Amino acid sequence: MIRMQANSHTQTAMHSISWLCLSLSSVLLFGSIASAEDLVPLKPKLPMAKFVGTPKETPPGTTAGAIDDKPQAPLMIPKDAVNIAPGKSITTSDTNSSPAVLKKIVDGNKEATDDAVILLRKGRQWIQFDLGAPQEVFAIVVWHAHDVPKVYHDVVAQIADDAAFTKNVRTIFNNDTDNSSGLGVGTDREYFETNSGRTFDAKGEKAQFVRLYSKGNTDSSLNEYTEVEIYGRPVK
């Protein structure tokens, strides 16, 4: 009799544990589904294409493969993440550029025209965004200049907690494979500029400052920027 009661209690306990495991599995499953439903594809508005197709000869001194004038597969980001770049403070390593000129980088004009592009001097240069407060950054979309097939060198995207980029610096993208810019050896490949721009996945990292580097291109030693979009939201 005592043995039967023990077995009965054991079966009841095992039954309860089974239901608990099933319930936890359901919570995890439906929680994942709910999280997935909160994500939407990032589809920035694209400017008109200035050129179509691959150049007959790949410019020398580049690791870029064949030109891809098709839009990248959309990055999935939270539905409440928006372009937070407009209105933010923008600075640059090029002291010849004024704040009024830098505002063109976020004016929404992405077309391949002279009036849409800003020029920075030769050599390694950067532009930097102060987001005003820590933000969850999910994507950085950059259009350099896409008037002709060209490849930008030493393209590096970083985020940090301070304006001097000394605290919690994280690299989102780096195609400087020989570390000629001194920011670390990059593992990303160079690419041809097109009207699609280039989307860098920031994976929701928290930061207040965004810095974008470049070091000339296969068409010119100058650095050009047409537009930058930063998709994020306030830290919750």
**Phi–psi pair at 56, nearest 5 degrees:** -60, -35
Torsion-angle region of residue 207: left (phi > 0), alpha (psi -120 to 50) or beta? beta
How many whole angstroms separate alpha carbon 213 and alpha carbon 79?
28
13 with 118, same domain: the answer is no
Query: What mean pLDDT comes out for the span 201-216?
Result: 98
One domain for residues 72 and 118: yes
Residues 217 and 152 both lie in one domain = yes
Domain count across the chain? 2
**Mean pLDDT along residues 175-190:** 95
Residues 27 and 83 in one domain: no
| pLDDT digit string, tens, across residues 91-140 | 999 999 999 999 999 999 999 999 999 999 999 999 999 999 999 999 99
Q: Domain range holding 122?
A: 45-234
Looking at the fold, whether 103 and 123 belong to one and the same domain comes out as: yes
- pLDDT tens digits, 139-182: 999 999 999 989 999 999 999 999 999 999 999 999 999 999 99
pLDDT of 218 above 70: yes
Task: Copy the structure tokens of residue 156.
Answer: 């590096």
What's the CATH code of the domain at 158? Answer: 2.60.120.260
Q: Are residues 152 and 105 in the same domain?
A: yes
Instruction: Tell me the pLDDT band of 8, cut-offs 50, 70 and 90.
Output: very low
Per residue in 24-74, pLDDT tens? Answer: 444 344 344 335 559 999 999 999 998 876 665 677 778 787 776 566 689
Q: For residue 9, is pLDDT > 70? A: no
Looking at residue 28, its pLDDT comes to 44
pLDDT for the residue numbered 33: 39
Do 127 and 27 share a domain, yes or no? no
Give 189's DSSP letter: P
Do 114 and 32 lie in one domain? The reply is no
Is the same domain home to 126 and 208? yes
Four-CA torsion 61, 65, 66, 69, nearest 10 degrees: -100
CA nearest to 225, candidates 212, 209, 206: 212
Residues 94 and 189 in one domain: yes
pLDDT value, residue 236: 83
pLDDT at residue 62, as a whole number: 81
Residues 68 and 23 in one domain: no
At 55 the pLDDT is: 61
58 secondary structure, DSSP code: P
Q: Do the bridges between strand 39-41 and strand 76-78 make them parallel or antiparallel, or are there none, so unpaired?
A: antiparallel
* Residue 29 and residue 104 share a domain: no
